[in-house]
């Protein structure tokens, strides 16, 4: 947690909240948690998401990578919740272009609009190291937020689980369909999966609590697991008992690289960047989840019944 406080607003946020990424997995949970508050959602296709509009929800069309589309988008908003990111690069869509430059664009638009609060989604493990393109872009984005002069709060969650996630659902598909359970790497890297609903609660509490200004919060769930143990939890939920086989990262990496031109459905369910990141722990001894939501956070095994839907 970062203790370098800025001057905080006098009270919690009561005005309109501008949300980027509000139609995604985490964004949907935050949108539901903020139900009843005035929201403005940034979407790339207004017609596709028109059904989300309502008495408290405005829809504006724009793209964080195109600053001209953000010029007036935040006018009249008191706070910004910035969630847009990517977990894999595709063609010209890069970590730097979406995560770093996109955040720079959103911050600039927020300053022009006179926004008074900026809540930013980063990632646990973020650090300054160009070898890890995802973490480097997240770190650069954090610097843009911290230097904007807008009272900020930054969240660094571990992997987020819940119905509709990509991480746990992908692992569950592997456990369900593969004749053996592949464990890429040593299987010893640590993870602290956090429930999507609890991440959403943390955002809502931060909007209401001005003492969260100037703070960096790591968000982890109720238990830390080695990667291999996490696979065991998923297998137990699915009622599967299969042998596990370890695959060295050095063996998997060329397979992932060679599969890039194939349709997504035919590629391994992991990217080059994710393979590199498997060497790093994704857990924290300083998780703030319990303090923010007011109770112990959920363990993975207590919140993944949804993986059985594909059984």
> 16-158+195-220+283-298 adopts what CATH topology?
Rossmann fold (3.40.50)
Query: What are the distances in angstroms from CA 157 to CA 103, 121, 203?
Result: 18, 8, 11
Share of residues in the chain with pLDDT > 90 (%): 82
pLDDT > 70? residue 8: no
Min mean pLDDT across 41-45, 196-200, 247-251 is at: 247-251
pLDDT (0 to 100) of residue 152: 98
Q: What is the dihedral of CA 133, 139, 143, 6, to 10 degrees?
A: 170
Report the distance separating Cα 152 and Cα 8, nearest Å: 9
Packing angle of the helix pair 25-33, 196-208 (nearest 10 deg):
50
pLDDT (0 to 100) of residue 4: 38
Which residues lie below 8 Å from residue 71, measured CB to CB, with a gap of 6+?
109, 112
pLDDT (0 to 100) of residue 310: 66
pLDDT (0 to 100) of residue 258: 85
Domain ranges of the chain: 16-158+195-220+283-298
Please compute the mean of the pLDDT values over residues 228-244 and round it to a whole number.
96
> What confidence tens digit (pLDDT) does each residue in 57-83 have?
999 999 999 999 999 999 999 999 999
* Spatial contact of 22 and 28, defined as CB atoms under 8 Å apart: yes
pLDDT (0 to 100) of residue 255: 87
Both tokens of 2, joined, read: 């970062």
């Amino acid at each position: 947690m970062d203790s370098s406080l800025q001057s905080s607003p006098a009270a919690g946020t009561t005005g309109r909240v501008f949300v980027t990424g509000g139609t995604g997995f985490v964004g949907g949970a935050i949108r539901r948690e903020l139900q009843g508050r005035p929201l403005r959602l940034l979407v790339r296709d207004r017609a596709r998401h028109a059904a989300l509009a309502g008495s408290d929800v405005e829809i504006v069309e724009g793209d964080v990578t195109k600053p001209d589309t953000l010029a007036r988008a935040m006018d009249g908003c008191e706070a910004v919740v910035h969630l847009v990111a990517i977990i894999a690069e595709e063609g010209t869509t890069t970590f730097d272009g979406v995560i770093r430059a996109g955040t720079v664009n959103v911050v600039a638009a927020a300053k022009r609009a006179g926004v008074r609060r900026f809540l930013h989604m980063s990632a646990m493990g973020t650090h300054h190291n160009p070898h890890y393109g995802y973490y480097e872009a997240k770190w650069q984005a954090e610097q843009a937020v911290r230097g904007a002069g807008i009272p900020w709060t930054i969240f660094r969650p571990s992997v987020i689980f819940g119905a509709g996630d990509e991480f746990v659902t992908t692992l569950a598909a592997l456990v369900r369909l593969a004749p053996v359970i592949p464990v890429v790497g040593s299987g010893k890297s640590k993870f602290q999966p956090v429930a999507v609903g609890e991440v959403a609660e943390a955002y809502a509490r931060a909007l209401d609590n001005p003492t969260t200004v100037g703070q960096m919060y790591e968000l982890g769930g109720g238990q830390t697991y080695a990667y291999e143990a996490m696979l065991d939890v998923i297998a137990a939920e699915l009622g599967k008992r299969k042998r596990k086989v370890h695959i060295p990262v050095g063996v998997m990496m060329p397979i992932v690289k060679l599969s890039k031109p194939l349709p997504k459905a035919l590629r391994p369910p992991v990217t080059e960047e994710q393979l590199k990141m498997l060497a790093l722990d994704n857990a924290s001894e300083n998780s703030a989840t319990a303090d923010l939501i007011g109770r112990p956070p959920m363990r993975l095994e207590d919140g993944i019944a949804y993986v059985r839907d594909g059984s």
